[in-house]
Structure 1
Amino acid sequence: MPKKTYAVRYVAGQPVERIFQPLASSQLGQALPPGEPLPGSGLLRVMVWNIFKQQRAEWLSVLQGFGKDAQLVLLQEAQTTPELVRFATSHYLAADQVPALIFPQHPSGVMTLSAAHPVYCCPLREREPLLRLAKSALVTVYPLHDGQLLMVVNIHAVNFSLGIDVYSKQLGPIGEQIINHQGPVIMAGDFNAWSRQRVLALYRFAERMMLHEVKFIDDQRRTAFGRPLDFVFYRGMKVQEASVLVTRASDHNPLLVEFEPYRGSAQGGPEARIVGLKNNAAGNKNSAAADK
């Protein structure tokens, strides 16, 4: 029997909590519990970084210098060492991690640090078909000052696989979450998009979800076979600034993005947008089969 997927929540002064998957993604279409909004009524600062299990020096100084001013920090390969947990709980209200690799002492996986408590949390995992190791993803939702709900998807995509079947399979449950969400979305992380097939699958997915890609003028993202691995996608917001921090503290460079949320719902209204997404998702089955 497969193990249940769960997230581990770290909050200062409180016991560590396990959060399991919701029974259905349709829960997003219902009323979520109220919560305090992310601080800052103007810009939303987001940091995205594969932290390489904190194996290199200066990772903490990078987080302290750049992460502490962000309302959201999306980490991949985050190992729950005492140093990282201490930083997370002293600078953020909540830190949610989805363990993917269970090491003897400290599990590793995606971790989202947030300056507000999420009102929704859905952990996801997908197993690497060749190495049989897991990669994780995390979907969280946060209130904004204007009354909207922001969905944040933190993902570390499967790496070693033949073709794109498993790669696309990992994106599937994320798409179900986005389809059922009415409001702005940020989807970011290490997508391991090192092949033409993977890049095309990722861009097709983003297009179906009506997500835009954040562009970096001085693009210093980590690459493999000439293709960037880390991406930030979004909808329902405007990008004010986007940069890549060059550092030796990891084998990936952090992405720093400042968003300005739109006031009110996006053009066309949430109902029209969700209907369109559901139609696209349903109509995509034939094209997905043809892509294999």
Structure 2
Amino acid sequence: MVRKKNFSMRYAAGLPAERIFPGVLADTGQLITPPLQSLPTNGALSVMVWNIFKQQRTNWLNVLKKYGLESQLVLLQEAQTTPELLHFATSNYLATDQVPAIVMPQYSLGVMTLSCANPIYCCPLREREPLLRLSKSALVTVYPLDDGRQLMVVNIHAVNFSIGVDIYKQQLKPIGEQILQHKGPVILAGDFNAWSRQRLHSLYRFSTLTGLQEVRFSRDWRKKAFGRPLDFVFYRGLQVEEASVLVTEASDHNPLLVRFHANP
């Protein structure tokens, strides 16, 4: 059986939705529209990371408007391509890329990265839950920075229900390979479903092998399962200026807000 090639969907204001296949966009013949520009930082880079719970709760849009608009990058998990979310994304960001892990009649569901610049590289990844047979997704994108470096951003929703950690490690493996090949700064963030001691150990071992540091939160209000946090932000080649967790009822996860010092 031939596996279907992974792709992400690109949404941009005034343009039809476009399938983006893995690779350097210019090399694959895919257009980067609007024209390429660097991720605007002015020395600082703000990132919001949030499992948005399929937009099932009220007030999710108000939270995005208040905190997302202050961020150059918004990394969402469990994002549904509803008209309200796509309108917000395309009205305020140059590029919105989603990996359709689960496709329904009206909407698709998966990780979604909103950015104030168009990526020059895009690699959508999917991993099937071994028990539920539903997919979880990840998205690797690379953006030019205004200091000449290239920032790799990985948005992940890790597999949840599995016996042991083999499938968990399997999902992380291609991400680690790309991080190790990348020469510039890196942000890896999302819902890692690290609810067991084995999973947490695997995640920390992965971060050590790829040279990533964990963002620490002084007031740690992250969503937990079995006493362990589920959402993380890891980084390399950047400095953390500020990190906080927003307590909200707009999802079953609390958003993570991180401000990096972007200059080398």
Instruction: Give TM class, smaller chain.
Output: over 0.9
Q: What do residues 12-51 of structure 1 show as CA deviations (whole Å, max 9, x unaligned)? A: 011111011239xxx9xxxxxx931111221100000000
TM-score by length of 1: 0.85
TM-score by length of 2: 0.94
Match of 1:258 in 2: 259
Distance 2:237 2:41 in 1: 17
Match of 1:175 in 2: 176
Q: What do residues 223-243 of structure 1 show as CA deviations (whole Å, max 9, x unaligned)? A: 000000000000000000000
Shift of 1:261: 2.0
Shift of 1:91: 0.5
Q: Which amino acid aligns with 1:49?
A: W
Distance 2:186 2:41 in 1: 17
Distance 2:22 2:100 in 1: 13
**Identical counterparts, % of pairs:** 69
User: What is the correspondence of 1:94-105 to structure 2 with a 5 Å cutoff?
Assistant: 94-105=95-106
Shift of 1:2: 2.2
Match of 2:185 in 1: 184
Q: What do residues 84-104 of structure 1 show as CA deviations (whole Å, max 9, x unaligned)? A: 000000000000000111111
Match of 2:119 in 1: 118
Q: Which amino acid aligns with 1:182?
A: K
Match of 2:231 in 1: 230
Report the RMSD for the aligned CA atoms in angstroms.
1.4
Gaps of 5+ in 2: 28-34
**Are residue 127 (structure 1) and residue 128 (structure 2) matched?**
yes
Number of residues paired by the alignment? 255
Shift of 1:145: 1.0
Gaps of 5+ in 1: 28-33, 264-292
Match of 1:163 in 2: 164
Match of 1:71 in 2: 72
Match of 2:61 in 1: 60
Distance 2:188 2:89 in 1: 21
Match of 1:51 in 2: 52
Distance 2:101 2:197 in 1: 26
Match of 2:31 in 1: none
Distance 1:190 1:13 in 2: 31
Distance 2:23 2:263 in 1: 28
SS of match in other structure, 1:99: coil
Q: What do residues 151-172 of structure 1 show as CA deviations (whole Å, max 9, x unaligned)? A: 0000000000000000000000
Distance 2:244 2:196 in 1: 24
Distance 2:74 2:250 in 1: 16
Distance 1:225 1:132 in 2: 24
Distance 1:2 1:55 in 2: 31
Q: What do residues 123-148 of structure 1 show as CA deviations (whole Å, max 9, x unaligned)? A: 00000001100000000000111100
Shift of 1:3: 2.0
Distance 2:5 2:39 in 1: 30
Match of 2:12 in 1: 11
Q: Which amino acid aligns with 1:92?
A: Y
Q: Which amino acid aligns with 1:15?
A: P
Match of 1:282 in 2: none
Match of 1:30 in 2: none
Report runs of 4+ in structure 1 exceeding 6 Å deviation.
none
Higher helix share goes to which structure?
A: 1
Q: Larger C-alpha radius of gyration, 1 or 2?
A: 1
Q: Which amino acid aligns with 1:108?
A: L
